[in-house]
Amino acid sequence: MSDSKHKSEECMTDDRFQHPWSKLDKGSKLNRLSMFTKMEKLTHDLSDTQEEALKIQLTQLFSCGHLNRIVDVEYDSETMKITNIPNLSFDTETCVYTFAKPVVKKSKSKSNSSKSRIERHFSRSLK
């Protein structure tokens, strides 16, 4: 009985991560970020302190809201792994990760829509 319970728990955990990045809950995203740091440690041969620094950096960026959108994180829901974080770069000489905060483009709104009804009324009456 314990084997079937264990297998059903594995299926639940697998299903939990098989969603797009924006649909994952907070705990799942933090789990995937932790897995990403472990993968980066193996890829770039990082020390334990460098891995921990990266994990702290990613956790802080996530809590500030910089890693919440699909554009911020490239996540493969089939392999259930983060493939890339576009604004995160690794300096091979200093072995330090840096995050370039994305520039938010402000859309130009029509000046007419930001006016109140009274302002629109008076601008029409002046014409």
Long-range contacts from 114-121, C-beta under 8 angstroms, 24+ separation: none
**Given this model, what pLDDT does residue 118 score?**
81
Bridge partners for 82 per DSSP: 75
Sequence-separated (6 or more) residues with CB below 8 Å from residue 83: 74, 75, 76
For residue 7, pLDDT over 80 is answered with: no
**Given this model, what pLDDT does residue 102 score?**
75
End-to-end CA distance of the chain: 82
Averaged pLDDT for residues 1-11:
49
For residue 5, pLDDT over 70 is answered with: no
Tens of pLDDT, residue by residue over 12-42, are 556 888 999 999 999 999 999 999 999 999 9
- Domains held by the chain: number: 1
Tens of pLDDT, residue by residue over 71-126, are 999 999 899 999 999 999 999 888 899 998 877 676 665 555 677 888 887 877 66
Separation CA 37–CA 11 (nearest Å) = 24
**Given this model, what pLDDT does residue 60 score?**
94
Q: Give the domain range for residue 85.
A: 2-126
pLDDT band at 127; cut points 50, 70, 90: low
Residue 16: C-alpha distances to residues 21, 55, 82, 90 (Å): 11, 22, 15, 30
55: its two tokens: 């994990």
Bridge partners for 75 per DSSP: 82
Averaged pLDDT for residues 5-10:
48
Separation CA 80–CA 32 (nearest Å) = 8
